[in-house]
Amino acid sequence: KVLILDFGSQVTQLIARRVREAHVYSEIHPFDVSIEFIRNFNPKAIILSGGPNSVYESDYQATPELFTLGVPVLGICYGMQWMAQALGGKVESGHVREFGYAAIRARGHSALFRDIQDRCNEEGHGLLDVWMSHGDKVTALPEGFKLIASNDACPIAAMADEARRFYAVQFHPEVTHTKQGTAIISRFVLEIAGAQPSWVMKDYIETAVARIREQVGSDEVILGLSGGVDSSVAAALIHRAIGDQLTCVFVDHGLLRYREAEQVMDMFAGNLGVKVIHVHAAADFMKHLAGVSDPEQKRKIIGREFVEVFQRESAKLPKAKWLAQGTIYPDVIESAGAKTGKAHTIKSHHNVGGLPDTLHLQLLEPLRELFKDEVRELGVELGLPHHMVYRHPFPGPGLGVRVLGEVKAEYVELLQRADAIFIEELRNSRNAEGKSWYELTSQAFAVFLPVKSVGVMGDGRTYDYVVALRAVVTSDFMTAHWAELPYDLLGRVSNRIINEVRGINRVVYDVSGKPPATIEWE
Ligand code: XMP
């Protein structure tokens, strides 16, 4: 396995993903873990991430003893600068920041770049198109190192001490802008460090199943099934491991998408034969939401009610010793930023699934080490349908925050039907390359606006509600662009909603980016 030391870069997680794409297991830990920790971890290779600081003015220093372990090390950006400084080279602050695409020229021969290039220059040197983002740079090589890439702005763009298998690059191989980035990272991990490419989801099932069996023995386990990807995959995996020792509690708050509750029940109770308690709690939730129109208040009520219902149901299963949750790796990584209080942007939302410890149950979190795309792959391997596993994210409070203002059963029903038409059309319409617009967007949904506007239908005047369509493209949901959906698709969706959903006579499309708007309307 590979150890990634995080110096606080926004993109450290991408390093771990690239390593795992090379089928090698990797973990991210803060830069200041002890040398004992590193020894115990027993890494096949160490990767030092980038970071926002400057090596001389910061206390972002890892233990230099890691260079004495005989383990190959790859430094990226700040990681390169720290490596240079720790091994006796020189780092100077650049007066200008270099940010964006750059072409660098590979120098001499190095195992890292051999046969990896985007093109060649006239003298036959390989050129790489890379992504740079740095202020400081290495200006003198440490003893034993040689130059392996450069360009005008950055004369030491990469360096290596091949005898000790220390490599460092000033650019960011982990971001997709660096086209050969994946090749460079696999080269380091597989060929230079000799890690085994044994991290494959199919095999992972066996390991995970064995681990779950060992952990829970003959105890019973409960899991809050929401229909979302994470809890669904966790349920399928745990069921594979312990069968009927697992009971899922599906709290149906009535704010799910059209026919979603039925689909969840069909899939789990029906196809997979999982024990699922379907709690019909819509009436309860509606009662508590009556008269409330403030979004945060609605979120609180839904969250609190969810916990209450779940606790009530789990009290009926006194034999359960374990609470299973679909926590995934990005939820658990302790980032260097968070550690020092210089946070990365942190989401304020909590999943409605966040349950208190008053349940006195031990936690079973079998997806804790997986990234979202790995969870999806695992779901498919476990036999969950592709369309379920590759669904857009859906907020915990569900349609409760997509019916603006006070939530009423009548509004929820209109919204469910309009939303289902929108999603169906997105799934069925394809761009020139044959990709569906559902795949081409990151999140898409309808929003119910409780205002009435005038329309005309046939010979009659209508006075009905408005639905807004929202579709965004984003990689991290922190920022997003509105999706440039084709007009004919929008037209078809609008026609169908107005014709098929009595009560709605106007459809509008949201063309706001995030920021300044958010993805959800509430
Ligand atoms: P915003 O609206 O903040 O949404 O741009 C960003 C992402 O978070 C989801 N979201 C939520 N998820 N509980 C959740 O579990 C919530 O209260 C919540 N609010 C927003 C939203 O769907 C989008 O994917």
Nearest CA to ligand 1 atom 4: 519
Residue 232 is assigned to a ligand binding site: yes
CA 118 vs CA 126, 170, 494: distances in Å? 7, 17, 45
pLDDT for 122: 83
* Ligand 1 within 6 A of CB of 443: yes
Q: How many H-runs (helices) and E-runs (strands) does the chain carry?
A: 16, 19
What 3-state class would DSSP assign to 453?
strand
pTM for the model: 0.85
Residue 229 is assigned to a ligand binding site: yes
CB-CB contact of 399 with 257 (8 Å): yes
pLDDT for 164: 98
CA-derived radius of gyration, the chain: 26
pLDDT for 351: 41
The rounded Å distance from CA 413 to ligand 1 centre is 21
* Ligand 1 within 6 A of CB of 397: yes
pLDDT for 51: 93
516 upstream amide cis, omega within 30 of 0: yes
* Ligand 1 within 6 A of CB of 299: yes
Instruction: Give the chain's largest Cα–Cα span.
Output: 87
The rounded Å distance from CA 428 to ligand 1 centre is 25
* Ligand 1 within 6 A of CB of 400: no
Long-range contact pairs involving 378-382 (C-beta distance under 8 Å, separation at least 24): 378/201, 378/204, 378/205, 378/233, 378/237, 379/229, 379/232, 379/233, 379/236, 381/201, 381/202, 381/205, 382/205, 382/233, 382/236, 382/237, 382/240
Which residue, chain included where needed, has tokens 């020092």? 340
Dump the DSSP string for 154-203.
Answer: -S-SEEEETTTTEEEESS-TTSTTSTTHHHHHHIIIIIIS-------HHH
Minimum-distance ligand 1 atom for the alpha carbon of 522 = 2
The rounded Å distance from CA 477 to ligand 1 centre is 8
Token code pair at residue 415: 């919204």
Closest CA to 216 of 320, 316, 318: 320
Cite the active site residues. 77, 172, 174
Q: How far apart are CA 399 and CA 257, in angstroms?
A: 7
CB-CB contact of 78 with 60 (8 Å): yes
The rounded Å distance from CA 520 to ligand 1 centre is 6
The rounded Å distance from CA 349 to ligand 1 centre is 6
Q: How far apart are CA 445 and CA 399, in angstroms?
A: 10
What secondary structure, in 3-state letters, does 272-298 show?
CCCEEEEEECHHHHHHHHCCCCCHHHH
Nearest CA to ligand 1 atom 3: 518
For 218-256, b where at least 16 C-beta lie within 10 A, e where not — what string?
Answer: eebbbbbbbbbbbbbbbbbbbbbbbeebbbbbbbbbbbb
CB-CB contact of 7 with 79 (8 Å): yes
Minimum-distance ligand 1 atom for the alpha carbon of 517 = 5
* Ligand 1 within 6 A of CB of 181: no
User: Within 13 A of 356's CA, how many CA atoms are on the CB side?
Assistant: 11
* Ligand 1 within 6 A of CB of 398: no
- Backbone angle region of 259, left / alpha / beta, with phi > 0 → left and psi within -120 to 50 → alpha: left
Q: How far apart are CA 222 and CA 244, in angstroms?
A: 11
pLDDT for 121: 83
User: Within 13 A of 148's CA, how many CA atoms are on the CB side?
Assistant: 22
Nearest CA to ligand 1 atom 9: 395
CA 379 vs CA 2, 252, 390, 436, 470: distances in Å? 24, 22, 9, 21, 27
Closest CA to 331 of 359, 383, 277, 368: 368
Q: How far apart are CA 9 and CA 347, in angstroms?
A: 17
| All domains in the chain, ordered by first residue | 2-192 (3.40.50.880), 204-389 (3.40.50.620), 402-509 (3.30.300.10)
> Which mutation among 477, 481, 512 tests ligand 1's pocket best, with the greatest number of atoms within 8 A of CB?
477
* Ligand 1 within 6 A of CB of 477: yes
* Ligand 1 within 6 A of CB of 442: no
Token code pair at residue 287: 């009662």
The rounded Å distance from CA 478 to ligand 1 centre is 10
Token code pair at residue 357: 């410890």
Would you write out the chain's pLDDT as a tens digit for each of its 522 residues? 999 999 999 889 999 999 999 999 999 999 999 999 999 999 999 999 999 999 987 789 999 999 999 999 999 999 999 999 999 999 998 777 889 999 999 998 999 999 999 998 888 788 999 999 999 999 999 999 999 999 999 999 999 999 999 999 999 999 989 999 999 999 999 999 999 999 999 889 999 999 999 999 999 999 999 989 999 999 999 999 999 999 999 999 999 999 999 999 999 999 999 999 999 999 999 999 999 999 999 999 999 999 999 999 999 999 999 999 999 988 887 655 554 444 333 333 344 345 666 667 899 999 999 999 999 999 999 999 999 999 999 999 999 999 999 999 999 999 999 999 999 999 999 999 999 999 999 999 999 999 999 999 888 999 999 999 999 999 889 899 999 999 999 999 999 999 999 999 999 999 999 999 999 999
